Amino acid sequence: MNENKTDHETATFANGCFWCSEAIFKRLNGIKSVLPGYSGGQVKNPTYEQVCTGRTGHAESIQIEFDPKVMNFEKILDIFWRTHDPTTLNRQGNDIGTQYRSAVFYHDLKQKEIAEKSKRDLENEGVYKDPVVTEIAPFSGFYVAEDYHKNYYDEHRDAPYCSYIIDPKVHKLLLNYGNDVRADYK
C-alpha cells in the first residue's frame, strides 16, 4: 500500500483473464483505477507472450486503487470470490495455464489476515462444492500489461470473447451488486 496517501489503498488479484477482471472492478463505486498486468512471477517486465508460455511464474492480474471509505477490502474480496471460480487450479473456463490461476497478492499483514479469513468464511459457507484453491501470497511486484489490453472489454464489446465470456460476468455483477456499481455503468 502507498502509505503516503490516506484516501486510497491498493489491491492486487489474479482471477483468470485480466480483461474480465478489469471490466468488473472498474464498474464499482470507490474504485479509482484498475490496471491489467502481471504479478506473482520471477521475470521482470514480462510481455504478454512471455507470460503465455507459463514459464515466467506470473499470472494475468489486476491492480486496483480504491477508496476504503467507499469500497473496503472485505467487499472487494467478496466480489473477487463470486465473479470467478476459485476452485479450479490454473484455469478459468477455457483459459488454461498457471497464468490463469486464482490469487490474492496481499500488500500488508492486514490484507493477508482479511484474505485468509474471507477464504475460510467462503469455504465454511459452502458457496462452492469443491475446495477453494486460491493462492494467498505476498505482493512482490506488478508489471502493467501492454496498452492493447487496457479497457479491452469497453473498447471491444462486439468481440466474441467479450460477448460470450465477459458480458455474463458484468450482468452477474449488476444483478448481485447493483448498489455498488457506479451510476455511469448501470
Give the residue numbers marked as catalytic.
17
Question: CA-CA distance, 173 to 28, in Å (whole number)?
Answer: 9
CB 77 within 8 A of CB 114: yes
Show the cell assigned to 139.
505482493
CB 145 within 8 A of CB 36: yes
- Closest of 56, 57, 40 to residue 136, by C-alpha: 40
